[in-house]
A = this chain, B = another copy of it.
Amino acid sequence: MQIAEQKSNGGVGIVQTRVLRVNLPPEGLVLENGVVLPELHVAYETYGQLAEDGANAVYICHALTGDAHVAGYHDASDRKPGWWDAMVGPGKGIDTNRFFVVCANVLGGCMGTTGPASIDPRTGRPYGSTFPAITTGDMVQVQCLLLQDLGVKRLAAVIGGSFGGMQVLEWSVRYPQMVARCICIASAMSLSAQALAFDIVGRQAIMADPDWTGGDYYDKAERPKRGLAQARMIGHITYLSSENMKRKFGREKRAGQAPRRRFATSFQVESYLDYQGAKFVDRFDANSYLHITEAMDVFDLAEKHASPAVAFARVNPEMRILVVALSSDWLFPPEQSLEVARALQQAGKHVSYCLLRSPYGHDAFLVEVEHLGEVVKTFIEASAPAPDAAVPPVPRRRTSRANSAQDHRLIAGRVRDGARVLDLGCGGGELLQALAAQRGVFGLGMDIDLENVLETIRRGLDVFQCDLDAGLGMIPDGSYDYAVLSQTLQVVRFEWYDTPNIHLFTLRDFKMLCARDAIKIVDICCLPHSRIDALLIKMAGYNLGADRVIITITRDHDRKAQNET
């Protein structure tokens, strides 16, 4: 696509990064460790208009080395737009026709917000080695102060990927009343040991660079470019999947001459890493890299709490949270996103989870926005859950869920008001919506199909995208009053195991299974297909002429205990 075309093609156009001197209390900005910064500048950009009622603001948290320049161009001559231009703009995932979007460079950064390269007003010289240690909490505090100054009192949503996702989680517990929705992409409650290790080596590379000089290099001729480039190269390896590196470079070699220095190879991957390193040191400051990675490394939402679920106790019960994982991400692997979702679910909060298939590794949230944009848009624009009538009709996809209105009525008749209900294989969420409307249940759907998940999210309901067989283990025993398996059991057993046939089984088979596994049948309701079926059922007892059966089962504690002894 031509740049001119891109620029005219639905983007936010020309934008400016502005720098605000943020209003601070007289004592200055007090950091979590008690240290005070006397002055705070924040570089930020905004897109779209703040609504009269102030309810349409979205804050974007950037990742490790990002900046405030999310979308559009600073100048007509710019060759590249902002870092998430594919996500942010008119009609895009975060629709600037609808939302007032704000993004700011983080505290400690080097893109305009106060950081180690800034002048300390007390000395008139760059902070350098005297810049205090900062935390993710400090960064979010600064974001909140900026929004206050911009007149934003609450956020329709806060969204971020990678380290940005950690900031989102921090928002959810630090300012729970201020945020309606949180979107946490390819992130975690804390870094894994492996990710920590890579950061550690990266920092050591910077500190081993003789040009770092303890952090006070701003008045020197040289900056610690080699160390910073090395840290960046390590980072870049972790942002890509191995599969993606194989596709991009494989073992291809540069055409032409041999490498210009000894022990440099002619593999294209070396050129790529060199290029990434060189490009990075031109725009980034080594001390900022040290400070921000350190803040990321020590971020640990669960650390001070008995369990991850307790950490999320402060999340507003009205808040809706979406956790998105990327399948080939090995820096923030999907299991870590699932942990976030599970902890929120266990804390009784409204949370949904999506796993997007992508071969691109961690970077996918930046480079492959097509599906992610749809997921974000669906979640961020979804209505709050409401009675059936109020929800716009959604096209039906699961034809196998036939006779659903009757089923839903009958199932609703078997569920207590306000109960917690798990709908396994929830399809587009029709049943959960009916149960929410008729019984006021607190529901969670599970489905493996992304379209079904999106449809459920569109209804304002909570849903986890997962394979039932893999996913059920994560639901703690006793955390739901009812689990519904509506027209799903046959799919779980067979179709999910990749055999082509759907094997139906009889009520008698099911009763045998229950007997074997110490399951107590509470109630059986056979649904006739026709009047003749109804007559047959009446004449012959159940299981004759019925084409569907609703069975209520419960654990048979006595039998189970017996079996176990």
Residues of chain A whose beta carbon lies under 8 Å from any beta carbon of chain B: 129, 190-194, 196-198, 200-201, 203-205, 207-210, 214-215, 226-227, 230, 233-234, 237, 240, 242, 245-246, 248-251, 261-265, 267, 269-270, 273, 290, 294, 297-298, 300, 303, 330, 333, 469, 493, 497-499
Question: How many Å lie between the Cα of A158 and that of B234 in the bound state?
Answer: 35
Closest 3 CB pairs of A and B: A193-B245, A497-B497, A194-B242
Contacting pair A208 B207 (CB below 8 A): no
Residues in B whose Cβ lies below 8 Å from that of A264? 203
Contacting pair A200 B269 (CB below 8 A): yes
A187 CB to closest chain B CB (Å) equals 16
- For the residues of A in contact with B, the DSSP-based class is helix
Most chain B CB neighbours (cut-off 10 Å) among A234, A290, A499: A234
A17 CB to closest chain B CB (Å) equals 28
Quick one: copies of this chain in the complex? 2
Contacting pair A245 B493 (CB below 8 A): no
Question: How many Å lie between the Cα of A246 and that of B191 in the bound state?
Answer: 10
Contacting pair A193 B248 (CB below 8 A): yes
A224 CB to closest chain B CB (Å) equals 10
Contacting pair B210 A298 (CB below 8 A): no
Most chain B CB neighbours (cut-off 10 Å) among A191, A242, A297: A242
Question: How many Å lie between the Cα of A273 and that of B196 in the bound state?
Answer: 11
Known A193-B251, A200-B269, A230-B230; further 8 A-B contacts with Cβ < 8 A = A192-B242, A193-B242, A193-B269, A194-B240, A204-B230, A215-B262, A234-B234, A265-B294
Most chain B CB neighbours (cut-off 10 Å) among A201, A214, A262, A265: A201
Nearest B residue to A203, CB-CB: B263
Residues in B whose Cβ lies below 8 Å from that of A214? 262
Q: Which of B129, B248, B251, B497 contacts A190 (CB 8 A)?
A: B251
Contacting pair B297 A237 (CB below 8 A): no
Question: How many Å lie between the Cα of A297 and that of B250 in the bound state?
Answer: 12
Question: How many Å lie between the Cα of A262 and that of B209 in the bound state?
Answer: 15
Residues in B whose Cβ lies below 8 Å from that of A290? 263
Contacting pair B267 A196 (CB below 8 A): yes
Contacting pair A226 B201 (CB below 8 A): no
Question: How many Å lie between the Cα of A201 and that of B196 in the bound state?
Answer: 17
Question: How many Å lie between the Cα of A298 and that of B265 in the bound state?
Answer: 8
Residues in B whose Cβ lies below 8 Å from that of A303? 251
Question: How many Å lie between the Cα of A237 and that of B331 in the bound state?
Answer: 13
Contacting pair B497 A201 (CB below 8 A): no
Contacting pair B251 A196 (CB below 8 A): yes
Nearest B residue to A289, CB-CB: B263
Q: List 16 A-B contacts (CB under 8 A).
A: A190-B251, A192-B246, A194-B237, A194-B240, A196-B265, A196-B270, A197-B270, A200-B265, A201-B230, A201-B233, A205-B208, A210-B210, A230-B230, A469-B498, A493-B499, A497-B497
Residues in B whose Cβ lies below 8 Å from that of A201? 230, 233-234, 237, 273
A176 CB to closest chain B CB (Å) equals 25
Question: How many Å lie between the Cα of A129 and that of B263 in the bound state?
Answer: 11
Contacting pair A297 B497 (CB below 8 A): no
Contacting pair B330 A242 (CB below 8 A): yes
Contacting pair B269 A197 (CB below 8 A): yes
Q: Which of B208, B273, B498 contacts A209 (CB 8 A)?
A: B208
Q: Which of B208, B237, B262, B493 contacts A227 (CB 8 A)?
A: B208
Contacting pair A226 B198 (CB below 8 A): no
Question: How many Å lie between the Cα of A298 and that of B237 in the bound state?
Answer: 19
Residues in B whose Cβ lies below 8 Å from that of A294? 263, 265
Contacting pair A200 B267 (CB below 8 A): yes
Residues in B whose Cβ lies below 8 Å from that of A204? 230, 233
Nearest B residue to A245, CB-CB: B193
Residues in B whose Cβ lies below 8 Å from that of A265? 196, 200, 294, 297-298
Nearest B residue to A204, CB-CB: B230
Residues in B whose Cβ lies below 8 Å from that of A262? 129, 214-215
Contacting pair A297 B267 (CB below 8 A): yes
Contacting pair B273 A197 (CB below 8 A): yes
